[in-house]
A and B are shown apart, each in its own frame.
Chain A
Amino acid sequence: MLSRTGLRLSSAITALLVSQSTYADWELNMPQGVTQVSQSIYDLHMLILWICVWIGVLVFGVMFYSMYKHRKSKGAKASKFHESLTLELLWTAIPTLILILMAIPATTTLVKMYDSSDAQIDIKITGYQWKWEYDYLGEDVRFFSNLATSKDEIYNKQDKGENYLLEVDREMVIPTGVKVRFLITSSDVIHSWWVPEFAVKKDAVPGYVNESWVNVPVGKEGIYRGQCAELCGVDHGFMPVVVRALSQENYQAWLDDQRAAKVAEAAAAMGDFSYDELMTTGAEVYAGRCAGCHGQSGEGMGTIFPALKGSAIAVGDVDAHIDVVLNGVPGTAMQAFAAQLSDVELAAVITYERNAWDNNTGDTVTPINIIDARK
């Protein structure tokens, strides 16, 4: 949905960054990341790792020495010692000291991570089964971010792309050199918003607003990818997080583009749409947003996700159908799509549901109908 300028800008940035390969360190170890916080966390990780390695070398060293030397087949005679207060005190005291030394940098880092004050930009992140919503508070920019990898790639009918499962239709965009605060919550179950390169992982809990923040240094513009980290249902593995960091000017340009696109979209909704146009768009929207639960052919899934083929809603009263799609069904897995889809998309998908798979109601729902229903 980026405008042409935005696209050109971002593709140039992408080309630059992909060649540097953001994932060079992703093979064996924790990424060092791009922020101060992620660097301190990486340093803590390496420190405690090396402490463990050296303790391991020491303890296992003694153990292997004794397993080699003190075996009966080598004629070793067992001594009878079985107590030493000095030793016991020593190996209680030394680990205690190491732990205290370890606790100091850990505490400092944690305090830093918890300080989300003085942020210049607030982005509200809401987890949904199975997508993220980004709301730029005070900027009138708000959109959903869905997995962009196709079912054909997932089911091995097509070659997998480079960013398989880590690509979305609309990325979160943030500026560099600015402290950005994330306000994280959920509309259904618990999710967890995670970008390893930022060392930001925070649970999205319904009824709570959790805070986290990032300050991507200038010069680190690029695309950063992560995933939902908390089991959130059947498509938990399919809700990636993608953040594009832009320079501050480009960020402002992007914001303007978003607002302009919104105006254009509203104007488009007032136009005329043929049945065929709506059916084509509807099929795409259905495959992307609805088929995950209601099935590719409207056949439903299990006891939680009802079939749409021949269902009372899909072949019954049009207004009731629009109401369910717009507002969801509270207390069930059916979400409200009013904010997630545009008027055109909503009209198209409802038209599609009412005519596909032998539903054949012959009804055409237009964007105007949706605009009326929204009132």
Chain B
Amino acid sequence: MMTSATTLHEDHGHHGPAKGLMRWVLTTNHKDIGTLYLWFAFTMLLIGGSMALIIRLELFQPGMQLIEPEFFNQMTTMHGLVMVFGAIMPAFVGMANWLVPMMVGAPDMALPRMNNLSFWILPFAFGMLILTLFSEAGAPNFGWTFYAPLSTTYAPSSVTYFIFGVHLMGISSIMGAINIIATILNLRAPGMTLMKMPLFVWTWLITAYLLIAVMPVLAGVVTMMLMDIHFGTSFFNAAGGGDPVLFQHVFWFFGHPEVYIMILPAFGIVSQIIPTFARKPLFGYSSMVYATASIAFLSFIVWAHHMFTVGLPLATELFFMYATMLIAIPTGVKVFNWVSTMFNGSMTFETPMLFAVAFVILFTIGGFSGLMLAIAPADFQYHDTYFVVAHFHYVLVPGALFAIIAGVYYWIPKWCGRYYNETLGKWHFWLSFVGVNVTFFPMHFVGLAGMPRRIPDYALQFADFNAVASIGAFIFGLSQILFLYIVIDAIRNGKKATDEVWEGTEGLEWTLPSPAPYHSFSEPPEVK
């Protein structure tokens, strides 16, 4: 397989990309597709972010000011769906497209045509989903977790478009995952054993398996919804002998691994960045790999911790509480390893490192609140409050999103051959860091004080912290416009990057010239 791929590329290895729009429509080049994924994800980040700002604007003060409760529910639902499936996941796939072949010394992804298809499904899936906002029935309004029967018997008619959209995203994700696994397992350069792979490649390999395991489950649950809505079945309809709790079991069997799908690649990115700027090899490489694998395994046996108040039997509650607490162990190992990597290093704090360090601190805070949520009795108070909202935004925004931003700053000189403006990068970091904490930290307080999530209006004792959170949200949201400017400025006017890019980088991607040529590693490199 490797030989045929190599010969194929030698035939036309010297011409560059096609010209014009069709380059992007027809491309099978992993770098082009990676770029498409990243720009798509950024667009979705801005759309989903605008929805978040509408939500925060309405919640700035008690009382209904700006929008109606019905539209508020549409906003929370669409914000969640767009951010999870449209921003975070495609951004990581974009990273994988750009980096996995360059990191393992492959000429391209193993299945380049399928790669094109898996990207081009996405704009249609999200186009359809977002257009429901303008339909008579309005967009989906049942939350991104779409619990039945609110999402079946009581759903607006746009739910059918939502189901079709989810199917398309699932197909795209599964194809992307197959491609990544095929590339990693088949196209590694001679000498690159599994335990020599960069950690980003390892985390993506494991993530891809998670995707293949759970996206079909998501497809299953939305298909059951479709049957209930249109074909008279009663999977989730108690009146017809069905079971609304079954929905939650199936959904969270997908949903919990899904949250690790959104964080494992982030672990990978941070594990690449910290050693570079600490000028010291990653501490405990193999324990990092094993920890990632254990987290992935555990992710399949903890799903019911999302359902502690649903009325599960005592034994079930205990099992899922213990299993969930176990996740703290491998996650702790990772954090300890990152800190040990920094210890006795020779550190500098360029923008990627700042974002990576903030990731370690703030993700750990999200991990702490996760451990608190795992304690089932306490979860009866935390469940479905802003404490949960604070928790998962800490792991997803300064967690997953900060890792993605760190990765973009870290590799953009390799991608475009130019450095970004370091001063502006630091501004972007500090604005984001302050914004994110001002937004999400007060949510812990209102949650503990008793504010349920997904409400468009709230009792007066929650007013102060909500106002603070709304201000933080605007600081954070607007500073992402600065990010856009920094990236465009780097592509157009940035200082030329060296091949090594950062002092002391290690790995195959840094042996390529900057910018990385359109076709790289047509001849596989030798790894010692």
Contact = CB atoms under 8 A, between A and B. Distances in A.
Q: Do A and B come from one complex?
A: yes
Interface of A: 23, 26-31, 40-41, 44-45, 48-49, 52, 55-56, 59-60, 62-63, 66-67, 70-73, 76-84, 87-88, 91-92, 95-96, 99, 102-103, 106-107, 109-111, 113-114, 129, 153-156, 160, 162-166, 188-190, 192, 194, 196, 199-203, 205-208, 210-211, 226-238, 301-304, 330-331, 333
A190 B244 contact: yes
B372 interface: yes
In this complex, the member of B245, B340, B349, B383 whose beta carbon has the largest number of chain A beta carbons within 10 angstroms is: B340
Given A59-B364, A165-B459, A229-B385, 14 more contacts: A66-B344, A82-B284, A87-B340, A99-B329, A113-B377, A156-B65, A164-B62, A165-B62, A190-B147, A190-B149, A231-B454, A234-B69, A234-B70, A236-B73
B433 to A, nearest CB: 14
Nearest to A38: B381
B381 A196 contact: yes
A162 B460 contact: yes
Given A29-B449, A154-B457, A206-B239, A71 B346 contact: yes
B488 interface: no
Nearest to B445: A28
Contacts of B364: 56, 59-60
Contacts of A73: 348
A160 B459 CA distance: 9
Given A188-B149, A201-B381, A234-B69, A164 B328 contact: no
Interface of B: 62-65, 69-70, 73, 136-138, 141-143, 147, 149-150, 153-154, 156-157, 238-239, 242-245, 278-285, 287, 309-311, 314, 317-318, 321-322, 325-326, 328-329, 332-333, 335-336, 339-349, 357, 360-361, 364-365, 368-369, 371-372, 375-378, 380-381, 383-385, 445, 448-450, 452-461
A153 B460 CA distance: 12
Contacts, number: 289
B154 A26 contact: no
A80 B309 contact: no
B325 A102 contact: yes
Contacts of B141: 233-234
B311 A205 contact: yes
27 contacts: A27-B449, A41-B381, A71-B346, A78-B345, A80-B280, A81-B283, A82-B284, A88-B333, A109-B377, A110-B318, A113-B380, A154-B457, A155-B63, A164-B459, A190-B149, A201-B380, A205-B244, A206-B238, A229-B309, A229-B452, A232-B150, A234-B69, A234-B73, A234-B141, A237-B454, A237-B455, A302-B156
A26 B339 contact: no
Given A59-B339, A302-B70, A49 B147 contact: no
B441 to A, nearest CB: 11
Q: Which 5 A-B pairs give the minimum distances between C-beta atoms?
A: A207-B238, A237-B455, A210-B311, A52-B368, A78-B346
B63 to A, nearest CB: 4
B147 A231 contact: yes
Contact of A202 (B62, B147, B311, B342): B311
Nearest to B77: A231
Contacts of B149: 188-190, 206
Nearest to A99: B325
A225 B126 CA distance: 41
B136 A302 contact: yes
Nearest to A153: B63
B245 A205 contact: yes
A236 B454 contact: yes
A7 B118 CA distance: 67
B283 A237 contact: no
Contacts of A70: 278, 342-347
B245 A49 contact: no
A139 to B, nearest CB: 24
Nearest to A232: B150
Contacts of B383: 192, 201, 229
A45 B137 contact: no
B137 A302 contact: yes
A226 B445 contact: no
A99 B84 CA distance: 30
Contacts of B365: 56
A63 B332 contact: no
A353 to B, nearest CB: 22
Given A23-B461, A48-B371, A49-B372, A99 B344 contact: no
A71 B383 CA distance: 42
Nearest to B462: A26
A136 to B, nearest CB: 22
Nearest to B369: A52
B377 A78 contact: no
B206 to A, nearest CB: 19
A111 B281 contact: no
B458 A199 contact: no
A237 B456 contact: yes
Contacts of A48: 371-372, 375, 378
B147 to A, nearest CB: 6
B405 to A, nearest CB: 19
B449 A202 contact: no
A91 B333 contact: yes
Given A156-B65, A333-B154, A83 B450 contact: no
Contact of B347 (A26, A72, A162): A72
Contacts of B283: 81-84
A226 B314 CA distance: 25
Contacts of A71: 346-349
Contact of A67 (B137, B325, B357, B458): B357
Contact of A206 (B244, B314, B322): B244
A103 to B, nearest CB: 6
A164 B64 CA distance: 13
B244 A63 contact: no
Nearest to A226: B450
Contacts of B245: 205, 208
B321 A103 contact: yes
B111 to A, nearest CB: 35
A52 B381 contact: no
A331 B153 contact: yes
Contacts of B385: 229
In this complex, the member of A41, A78, A103 whose beta carbon has the largest number of chain B beta carbons within 10 angstroms is: A78
B150 A78 contact: no
Contacts of B378: 41, 44-45, 48, 106
Contacts of B65: 156
Contact of B361 (A60, A62, A106, A208): A60
A59 B156 contact: no
A154 B445 CA distance: 23
In this complex, the member of A102, A162, A301 whose beta carbon has the largest number of chain B beta carbons within 10 angstroms is: A102
Contacts of B279: 72, 78
B207 to A, nearest CB: 23
A113 B313 CA distance: 12
B328 A99 contact: yes
Given A164-B459, A233-B150, A106 B346 contact: no
A63 B339 contact: yes
B413 to A, nearest CB: 19
Contacts of B284: 82-84, 87-88
A134 to B, nearest CB: 19
Contacts of A110: 314, 317-318, 321, 376-377
A95 B329 contact: yes
